[in-house]
Structure 1
Amino acid sequence: MRLTFIKKDLTRHRLISIGLTICIMMTSFLATSAAQMIVQLNGSISDLLHLAKAPDFVQMHDGTLNEKDIETFSSKQPMVKAHQIVPMIPIEHTNIRFGHEQAKAGVMDHLFVKQNRYFDFLLNEQNEKLAVNKGEVAVPIYFQQKYQLKIGETLLIEKGSNQFSFRIKAFLRDAQMNPSLVSSKRFLLHHEDWDALHQLFQKKEYLIEFLLHDATQADAFQAIYQSSQLPQQGPAVTLPLLRMLNAMTDGMVIAILLLVCMLLMSIALLSLHLAVTASIEEDEREIGILKVLGVPLTKIKQLYVGKYAVLACSGCIAGFGLTLLFGDRFTSNIQRYMGNQPSFTSWFIPLFVSIMTAMIVIYCSYAILRKFGQISAAQALQGGVITPNDKKQIPLHLKKNRFIPINIWLGLKDLLSRKKLYTTITCIIALCTFLMLMPIQLLHTLQSPDFITYLGSGKSDLRIDIRKGNHLEKSTNDIESMIREDRDIRASTLYETSSLQAKSMENTLETLYLETGDLSAFPLSYLQGRQPLNKEEISLSVLSADSLQKEVGERITLVTNGQQIQRTVTGIYQDVTNGGKTAKAISQPISQPALWKTIQIQLKPGVEMAVKKAVFEKKIPLGKVTDMQEYVDQTIGNTASLVKVVAFSSTLAAFGTATLMLFMFLHMLKAKDSSRNHMLRTIGFSIKHVTAQYITSFIVVLSFGALIGTIAVHIIGPALMSIGGASLGVSSLQWLAPQWVSIVYPITLFIVSLAFTALLLKTFFSSQTTRHTLS
């Protein structure tokens, strides 16, 4: 009996069953895909860090060093298991060619290294320790994707009449420098080639690396190292930070997928409520007959729960199948940069998530049917199983209506009489709007020129980075002289970055990267307080303020070259560069050499940025010239590209889901209002009149749904994104999308939904009722 009932009911409500199954399938697909990404990301990162033997603490250093001092320090520290010093040769993009294509200027440093002996290995695409022969080079995956490189192509390094040609043997994975957020990339050479290259490019930078007996003591060891007088002219990172940087790009996509999944699950459960309600109201007389015949209530419930169990299981199985077929598209970036490590959990956990999704749907269908126990057989035979008092009397009298057309008035009265019923579809439209608009807002925010403020820099047109070792002072003076003579430039400012230390509340020392210059020329947006206005003031990034436990108005002690100076914290801003621990001031507290210098430029209106950038690149071979949009793209480009895919998919899902839910809702109304509509047709209302009444109700419902969803995106959305960004230094994300985004997309959803509603109403009424007379 049960199987016969399920089969007949599914056949009778074929389209509703298909729509509900599709909604459950998409929910299951996204949930299992997110679970698969989490498992894959966690396993791949752990495997990469393990096989590469990633260091627990790394101090980058740009300058000279004494290896004996580091060896002495390491031998006296019981935490240290091993240490090594990794020399790197930095080479400017102007000296590098990939095949016949000149390397492009950008934020990335090109660092050439030898394979390490003890730990911090560079790996191939099978996560095996790389070895290259003389005349060969291994190129980072980042540049493989940027320049579409292939094995066997040539990498040329030129300086004057000297030229080195290397055949690309492999594309490497680097546990330290894989992410695009890290603005340095390592190329692997044979040791003889490296020595020959060093004869021509004598400038070196260093990685001072430590393995600890207990990796959990990395933060404590960092405090000890940075309290010493050892080399530390550059950023420092720990193993947890390396793990976080590797996880950021795909982690953001996982967060969005989980959010989309929860929205779809909410829509699916609301849709389930509509489907159950519609089905039972159609079958109310049959239910009454079954109760009169003595069929137990539990048996009746099982008939309906069985039907939705079939739909839930079918949808979840299909969703899990889609994950097996297309899940690699979500994990392709993880597999490319960190490797694929198939394991039992990589398919078991997504399967478990799919099963849990089905169980949630089945449980909710059972919960909806609980109200059966409150309905007697007589009530069921009379009708009104689910909503016996659905319509409430609204004090709107037709004889008092003088201004509103009768059909609009009847539509509004019906809407107010059945607020609970229409609230369900309003919530569904609001969720669909949120589902569509949230990823789109995030995408436009990541692509906005103003997003540079989250990277610790003011908004400008062009940025020129000048690094130490390239005759820093002379290069800077030459560039500044050229800029002063350029009539296309409206404003420019020089900023210097140096390294110093600050005392924490526990009296330990932490390294800060202090940028100084005219902060009012290209101002930042501050979360708290304001920018420094005099030499006695300083502002801190979010992570610096949290680490040092400083608030606006408090004093901070800066330490450099054995001297201590106090400054007042005037503001806190957001920054994700250099590990997120930076500071800003108008001048250096103590005169010391700069690590690097940056010139920000604002062009006059009408000046082509691309043309001016090309001119600067030719005239400034010793500096990196980037426009600020390019700077953002190179830093978070991978993240933005993945968010773009999610945004497109979410938009399609929102339109598709809204369409399916409107169909189900209207199908329910068709059954629910058959008597009402028959009466209206009998007393003289035409199909056009009745349709106008429903259209009136749906205009209000769709408008409110789209408006509520849009408001929720602007209120809740930034808070949700800020939760994920807090650990990276972005604790207060605001949408930077153009205003038209919040208008065009919801209006488009409204128009499409209303047009679909009108089409369905026309179809329903053309096949349902004919005019009757009172005779």
Structure 2
Amino acid sequence: MAAIWSICLGNLRRRKVQNSLIALLLLLSTLLINTAITVISNSENLYEDLHRETKGSHELLNLTTGLHDPQMVEKWWSAQKGVTASVLLPYKPLAGVIHEGEDIPNLYLYMMNTPDRPFGTDELVFAQGQETGHPEPGTIWIPTSLAYKYDVSVGDELQFKAGKQPLRLKVSAVVIDLALGGPFSTTARIWMNNTDYQHDLNSVQDTDSYLMGIRFDDYSQRAGYWERFESFLGTPFMEERTTFEEISAFYFIMNKIIGFVMSFLGVVMMLVALYTIGFTISDAILSNYKTIGIYKSLGLSSREIISTYIAQYSFLSLISLIPGLILSRFLSGVIIEQSLSFLKTDHSSTHIQGAGTEFIVGIGILLLILLVVWFYANKARSIQPMQAIRYGMSEAAYSRTTKRWHEERKRGKEFERWPVPWVIGIRNVTKNLKGSILMLVLTTVTSAVLVFGLVLLNSIYQMQETSPLWGYDSSDVVIMITNTSEFDREQVENDMGSDARVRNLNWIGYTIGVAPADQTRRSDPADSRAQSVNIPLTVVEGSMDEIGLASITGRNPHNRNEISIGINVSRELGKEVGDIVELYIEGEKHSFTVTGIYQSISNMSYQARVTSEVVHKLNRDAGYLNLNNIADSDEIVQELNDKYGTSIQAVKQQTLLDSVFKEAAAVLIIPMSILGLMFLLITCLIIYSTSRIHIRKEIKTYGIYKSIGLTSGTIRGALTWGIVLLSAFGAILGIFCGAYLLPGILRDLLSSYGIIKLPLLMHWTGISLLALLSVSVAGSGCWMASRIIRSNSPRILVTE
């Protein structure tokens, strides 16, 4: 046993750089893998815990059109056993809010008449401010999605466009509104005092709209409840209905993307670490072949020699895995706090769960490492003491080496016409084949990480160029109607029609279409009964083509009997272009021919588009302007807001996109930057270590080169250019993987969110620069490793 520990400690001392590098690789791969698992599992756990604590809704009903009596709906659901129904939450819709003199764009408001608490479902959690039964007169509660995103604090004043004079209210509390306050939300519930609501919002809308939450004791039984409810109504439910999947989806999307990237790259880094371990053990056995033969001749068994490697890498694994698991908790906390910041309060911190998972991950990685070590160390069993002492290798290997030496002498004549530095660089790459493969893989992976991060972030920042493929329009200016009672549509149309800068103006409104149960093919996993599907409809007055709405298959509707449907509606109804879809709209049944299928990140593609002739009364929510010169957009926006500011909010389309997707870019930029720096560091260190090992093996050869006139700089440059050429091939492969392979895998992840064709923008200048960066890092690692050639004289090198 003493001999085993002595050999093990000797290996640790002699190969400090290699051992340190392997320990770092294991630490980082453990960090990435465990962080990915922790982020994904904790995101769902945090949401589900809060959803359970606040009695979160499984479905949210929005009663706005008067097609069903709200009191009757509330009474029926309240009477059902196994169902918790909220009280009716009256509200009036509004758009347009000002904070510190600046308009907050792209935000639709539900001005709530706050009832007595508890509501029954979706209880509010106070994140800032004092918890009270109702907002005091002149004050409001706002959701964290509004407060944190636009830096609104308790005590700040918000101005709402609710008439000729803005309605001024102070924020008395910030609350977590789980149902409507998720990431990327463009809707916010503003909780008002009853007196303020009754007095200040009379001009907004004559009648109240209502929200109502439903929570099932057994979620799998919801299909049966809905079947009975619609039987009670005598028709499908015609109002807006939001399911639990839609409510919760965007709480998880960013962490799923981050988790996917980290887990994928963590596995790649672990494979690199295992390959490096195998490469190092193989190299150590070959380098110490004669020594191992002597050990065996002195009485050490093969099992004891293998045990020295197992002991060595068990030690390295333990000193790497434990810090990796600890650091992953901190990194996970940072990512979760940033991506789920809307669930954070001033008096509570994010509690990371999963100690059991960390233990399983650590044990699993340790066992995998030891299995690889055992597999490669087993090569020591075949060492015969006499052959090892005589040849320094097996007799068969000695014969192959002698034969190869003669062949290389013959083949060397082929290189006589090549410049000497070229021959040195190529020979360094081809002779050290395993190390060269490792370098190629590393530069490929590093380039792929850098390119993928750039492509993803650039596509989000420049989303205006591909907005139709994300389900948005491509207009230049959007006119959001903030107060319908004061909005003068004819005046706006006349002004825009006579303005030479404006090319066209189209209007959009929204309503609900319902596909009856016999049209759907969706079934509950525990219940074969199909349900009716409530589909948000984008209703266009004008031309969808002019607005810039796009389809991935087919075209936009042009006539009243045509419809374009989102990809998830297509899946759920089993409809393709040319099929017939029957929908109830405003209580009437309509038949449509599907002319197009489109994708949209909004509503997860659970939506459709029809022309305005379908509806009897279109409530126009927004107008979409295209200009002859986009440079005029700032001027047009300013003029519209100055003239119609009490009833509209005019913004550039880029402003609307930024208000949603800059949030995504901010969440992604930290983990993607960390990953890029990690892989650059690992690439440099591994190439340094691998090159150093090979240079030490060939040190006598380089001494001979120096003795016949080659300078240290020439030799180092030749070695470096050989590695640069190799890494250039890796960078080219990395560009392909980062620009096409990784986005393809990510597209599969986003498919459930309604995106099946990922709209990416290739910034080829940036991609080329990042690929060159990975090549430069590889070259730097080799250049640093070759310093030993410069620091020793030819005589010493030859003597060695």
Q: TM-score when scaled to structure 1?
A: 0.89
What letter corresponds to residue 10 of structure 2 in structure 1?
Answer: K
Q: Summarize the alignment of residues 653-664 of structure 1 with structure 2, pairs less than 5 Å apart.
A: 653-664=678-689
1:551/1:152 CA distance change after superposition, 3 Å? same
| 1:207 has 2:211 as partner | yes
Deviation at 1:727, TM superposition (A): 1.5
Aligned residue in 2 for 1:104: 104
Deviation at 1:536, TM superposition (A): 4.8
Q: Structure 1 CA distance, aligned partners of 2:431 and 2:92?
A: 76
Aligned residue in 1 for 2:185: 182
Say which of 518, 535, 541 aligns to 1:512.
535
Say which of 316, 335, 352 aligns to 2:360.
352
Q: Structure 1 CA distance, aligned partners of 2:597 and 2:630?
A: 35
Q: Structure 2 CA distance, aligned partners of 1:454 and 1:130?
A: 45
What secondary structure does 1:18 align onto? helix
What letter corresponds to residue 463 of structure 1 in structure 2?
Answer: V
Question: Is the 8 Å Cα contact of residues 226 and 511 (structure 1) preserved in structure 2?
Answer: no
1:644/1:550 CA distance change after superposition, 3 Å? same
Question: Is the 8 Å Cα contact of residues 312 and 358 (structure 1) preserved in structure 2?
Answer: yes
1:126/1:9 CA distance change after superposition, 3 Å? farther
Aligned residue in 1 for 2:699: 674
Deviation at 1:716, TM superposition (A): 1.5
Q: Structure 1 CA distance, aligned partners of 2:188 and 2:242?
A: 15
What secondary structure does 2:152 align onto? coil
RMSD: 3.6
Q: Structure 2 CA distance, aligned partners of 1:616 and 1:487?
A: 15
Q: Structure 2 CA distance, aligned partners of 1:770 and 1:223?
A: 92
1:165/1:614 CA distance change after superposition, 3 Å? closer
Aligned residue in 1 for 2:447: 433
Aligned residue in 1 for 2:595: 570
Deviates more, 1:353-362 or 1:527-536: 527-536
Aligned residue in 2 for 1:424: 438
Aligned residue in 2 for 1:373: 381
What secondary structure does 1:106 align onto? strand
Say which of 478, 491, 494 aligns to 2:491.
478
Deviates more, 1:346-355 or 1:391-400: 391-400
Aligned residue in 2 for 1:634: 659
Q: Structure 2 CA distance, aligned partners of 1:374 and 1:431?
A: 35
What secondary structure does 1:740 align onto? helix
Q: Structure 2 CA distance, aligned partners of 1:437 and 1:31?
A: 21
Alignment gaps of 5+ in structure 1: none
Q: Structure 2 CA distance, aligned partners of 1:322 and 1:90?
A: 46
Aligned residue in 1 for 2:422: 408
Deviation at 1:549, TM superposition (A): 0.9
What letter corresponds to residue 513 of structure 1 in structure 2?
Answer: P
Deviation at 1:322, TM superposition (A): 1.9
Question: Is the 8 Å Cα contact of residues 289 and 388 (structure 2) preserved in structure 1?
Answer: yes
Question: Is the 8 Å Cα contact of residues 89 and 205 (structure 1) preserved in structure 2?
Answer: yes
| 1:453 has 2:477 as partner | no
Aligned residue in 2 for 1:146: 149
Deviation at 1:654, TM superposition (A): 1.8
Aligned residue in 2 for 1:592: 616
1:23/1:421 CA distance change after superposition, 3 Å? closer
Question: Is the 8 Å Cα contact of residues 63 and 70 (structure 2) preserved in structure 1?
Answer: no
1:187/1:159 CA distance change after superposition, 3 Å? closer
What secondary structure does 1:520 align onto? helix
Deviation at 1:172, TM superposition (A): 0.7
1:144/1:341 CA distance change after superposition, 3 Å? closer
Deviation at 1:97, TM superposition (A): 4.5
Question: Is the 8 Å Cα contact of residues 49 and 175 (structure 1) preserved in structure 2?
Answer: yes
Kindly provide the CA deviation profile for residues 714-765 of structure 1, in whole angstroms up to 9, marking residues without a partner as x. 2321221112211111122142242223212111221232133223323444
Kindly provide the CA deviation profile for residues 431-470 of structure 1, in whole angstroms up to 9, marking residues without a partner as x. 1222222233222222222352344123233223337x71
What secondary structure does 1:521 align onto? helix
Q: Structure 2 CA distance, aligned partners of 1:481 and 1:395?
A: 89
1:37/1:151 CA distance change after superposition, 3 Å? same
Q: Structure 2 CA distance, aligned partners of 1:446 and 1:528?
A: 23
1:739/1:170 CA distance change after superposition, 3 Å? same
Kindly provide the CA deviation profile for residues 282-339 of structure 1, in whole angstroms up to 9, marking residues without a partner as x. 4333222212223111211221222222121111111223234454212213563224
Q: Structure 1 CA distance, aligned partners of 2:94 and 2:559?
A: 38
Say which of 269, 292, 295 aligns to 1:290.
295
Deviation at 1:427, TM superposition (A): 0.9
Deviates more, 1:546-555 or 1:126-135: 126-135
Aligned residue in 2 for 1:304: 309
| 1:756 has 2:794 as partner | no
What secondary structure does 1:84 align onto? coil
Kindly provide the CA deviation profile for residues 361-406 of structure 1, in whole angstroms up to 9, marking residues without a partner as x. 3332332223333343345443458997697967984444576423
Aligned residue in 2 for 1:540: 565
Question: Is the 8 Å Cα contact of residues 90 and 113 (structure 2) preserved in structure 1?
Answer: yes
Say which of 749, 772, 783 aligns to 1:747.
772
| 1:500 has 2:523 as partner | no
Deviates more, 1:169-178 or 1:8-17: 8-17
1:688/1:133 CA distance change after superposition, 3 Å? closer
Q: Structure 1 CA distance, aligned partners of 2:387 and 2:654?
A: 67
Aligned residue in 2 for 1:465: 480
Q: Structure 1 CA distance, aligned partners of 2:410 and 2:476?
A: 61
Deviation at 1:111, TM superposition (A): 3.2
Aligned residue in 1 for 2:524: none
1:39/1:399 CA distance change after superposition, 3 Å? closer
Q: Structure 2 CA distance, aligned partners of 1:483 and 1:394?
A: 81
1:731/1:132 CA distance change after superposition, 3 Å? same
Aligned residue in 1 for 2:39: 37
* Identity level (%): 16
Question: Is the 8 Å Cα contact of residues 723 and 778 (structure 2) preserved in structure 1?
Answer: no
Question: Is the 8 Å Cα contact of residues 582 and 590 (structure 2) preserved in structure 1?
Answer: yes
Kindly provide the CA deviation profile for residues 494-523 of structure 1, in whole angstroms up to 9, marking residues without a partner as x. 344333233524586423333334232244
Question: Is the 8 Å Cα contact of residues 703 and 793 (structure 2) preserved in structure 1?
Answer: no
Aligned residue in 1 for 2:242: 237
What secondary structure does 1:426 align onto? helix
Question: Is the 8 Å Cα contact of residues 112 and 186 (structure 1) preserved in structure 2?
Answer: yes
Q: Structure 2 CA distance, aligned partners of 1:289 and 1:80?
A: 78
1:413/1:287 CA distance change after superposition, 3 Å? same
Q: Structure 2 CA distance, aligned partners of 1:403 and 1:626?
A: 68
Alignment gaps of 5+ in structure 2: 522-529
Question: Is the 8 Å Cα contact of residues 427 and 705 (structure 1) preserved in structure 2?
Answer: yes
Aligned residue in 1 for 2:252: 247
Aligned residue in 1 for 2:525: none
Deviation at 1:574, TM superposition (A): 0.8
Say which of 15, 18, 24 aligns to 1:16.
18
Q: Structure 2 CA distance, aligned partners of 1:588 and 1:164?
A: 33
Deviation at 1:118, TM superposition (A): 2.0
Deviates more, 1:400-409 or 1:748-757: 400-409
Question: Is the 8 Å Cα contact of residues 430 and 707 (structure 1) preserved in structure 2?
Answer: yes
1:475/1:371 CA distance change after superposition, 3 Å? farther
Give the number of aligned pairs. 768
Aligned residue in 2 for 1:261: 266
What letter corresponds to residue 654 of structure 1 in structure 2?
Answer: F
Question: Is the 8 Å Cα contact of residues 48 and 127 (structure 1) preserved in structure 2?
Answer: no
What secondary structure does 1:423 align onto? helix
Question: Is the 8 Å Cα contact of residues 538 and 569 (structure 1) preserved in structure 2?
Answer: yes
What letter corresponds to residue 626 of structure 2 in structure 1?
Answer: Q
Q: Structure 2 CA distance, aligned partners of 1:593 and 1:325?
A: 54
Kindly provide the CA deviation profile for residues 457-494 of structure 1, in whole angstroms up to 9, marking residues without a partner as x. 23233223337x7149x644333333223333344433
Q: Structure 1 CA distance, aligned partners of 2:570 and 2:335?
A: 36
